[in-house]
Amino acid sequence: MALAWENGKVVDKQMPIIPHEEFKKLEKILESEKYTNTYLDKLVKKMKFPKPVRG
């Protein structure tokens, strides 16, 4: 659950359930070039991220 600030306090937000039919349409959109070859995708391919270390 994500943290959010609502009515003056911290709350846990749960993403609502998506109707399955709607999710199938959403899946298609998310698989399209527009959402799979994004700025973030290109950045991740190009950038060398350091391995996280435990302090």
Positions in the binding site for another protein (CB under 8 A): 1-5, 9-10, 13, 15-20, 22-23, 26, 29-31, 35-36, 38-41, 43-44, 46-47, 49-55
Q: How far is the CB of 32 from another protein (least distance, A)?
A: 9
Q: How far is the CB of 28 from another protein (least distance, A)?
A: 11
Selection from 30, 27, 47 nearest residue 38 by Cα:
30
Residue 31 near residue 38, CB atoms below 8 Å: no
Could you tell me which residues come within 8 angstroms of residue 27 by beta carbon, excluding any fewer than 6 positions away?
none
Q: How far is the CB of 3 from another protein (least distance, A)?
A: 5
